[in-house]
C-alpha cells in the first residue's frame, strides 16, 4: 500500500474542500433534524462530488468535457438557488418560525445540494485534472477511494458541527436566512474570481 500517495490524496481533498465544510454545515442546519433531509444532503454531496471526479478524470484523459473558460459560469447555479431560496423566504414572511423551518428542511433536496457542490468545485477540478493526468490507473483508484471516503467524513463532520449546542440554536433560528446568503455569496465569488461576464 502506497502510504505516501494516500497521504497526498488526503491532504489534497482536505485543502480543496475546506469551503465545502461551511456549506455542508449550513445545509445540515437547514435540514432541521429531519432524517430524510439529512439523507438528501449526504446524497447530494456524493452526487455533486462524483460529478467533480468524473469531469476531472475525463479532463485528465484529454476529453475536455468542460472547457476552462466555462468553469466560472458554474457560479450561476448557487446564485440562482440562493435567489430562489431568498424568494421563498420572502414569500413566507410573517409565518410562524416552525413553518419556515419545516419549509427550509423540505427545500433541501438532492439536486440542490449536488448543484452547489458541483458549482463550488471549479477549484477542485483545476487541481485534480493535472494531478490525475500524471497518475497511473492504480493511483487514480487510490485518489478516488480516498476522496469518496473523505466525502463521508465531511458529511459526518458537517452534521456534527450543525448539531452542536453552540451552533444548532443559531442555525435553527437563522439557518433559513443564512442558506440563501451563503449560496448567493458562493455564486458571486465564483463568477467574480473566474472573471465571468467580464467581472
Say which residue, 117 or 176, is predicted with more confidence.
Answer: 117
Q: At 188, is the secondary structure helix, strand, or coil?
A: helix
Most confident of 41-50, 56-65, 115-124, 154-163: 41-50
Mark out the alpha helices in the chain (DSSP H runs): 3-16, 18-30, 35-60, 76-91, 97-107, 110-119, 122-133, 137-162, 168-193
Q: At 135, is the secondary structure helix, strand, or coil?
A: coil
Q: Measured between alpha carbons, how far is residue 104 from residues 134, 161, 177 in Å?
A: 43, 18, 9
- Reply yes or no on whether the pLDDT at 112 is more than 70: yes
pLDDT-derived band at 100, boundaries 50, 70, 90: very low
C-alpha 124/C-alpha 88 separation (Å) is 31
- The whole-chain average pLDDT of the chain stands at 79
Most confident of 17-21, 44-48, 157-161: 44-48
- pLDDT of the residue at 97: 45
- pLDDT of the residue at 99: 42
pLDDT-derived band at 20, boundaries 50, 70, 90: confident
- Reply yes or no on whether the pLDDT at 66 is more than 70: no
Amino acid at each position: 500500500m502506497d502510504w505516501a500517495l494516500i497521504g497526498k490524496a488526503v491532504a489534497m481533498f482536505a485543502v480543496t474542500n475546506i469551503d465545502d465544510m461551511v456549506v455542508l454545515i449550513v445545509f445540515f442546519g437547514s435540514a432541521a433534524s429531519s432524517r430524510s433531509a439529512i439523507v438528501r444532503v449526504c446524497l447530494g454531496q456524493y452526487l455533486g462530488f462524483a460529478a467533480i471526479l468524473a469531469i476531472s478524470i475525463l479532463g485528465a484523459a484529454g476529453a475536455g468535457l468542460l472547457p476552462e473558460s466555462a468553469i466560472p459560469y458554474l457560479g450561476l447555479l448557487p446564485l440562482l438557488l440562493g435567489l430562489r431560496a431568498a424568494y421563498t423566504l420572502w414569500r413566507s414572511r410573517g409565518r410562524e418560525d416552525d413553518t419556515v423551518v419545516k419549509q427550509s428542511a423540505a427545500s433541501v433536496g438532492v439536486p440542490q445540494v449536488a448543484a452547489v457542490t458541483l458549482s463550488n468545485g471549479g477549484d477542485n477540478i483545476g487541481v485534480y485534472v493535472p494531478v490525475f493526468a500524471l497518475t497511473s490507473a492504480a493511483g487514480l483508484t487510490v485518489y478516488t477511494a480516498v476522496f469518496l471516503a473523505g466525502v463521508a467524513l465531511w458529511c459526518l463532520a458537517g452534521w456534527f458541527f450543525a448539531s452542536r449546542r453552540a451552533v444548532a440554536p443559531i442555525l435553527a433560528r437563522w439557518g433559513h436566512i443564512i442558506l440563501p446568503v451563503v449560496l448567493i455569496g458562493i455564486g458571486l465569488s465564483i463568477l467574480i474570481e473566474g472573471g465571468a461576464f467580464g467581472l
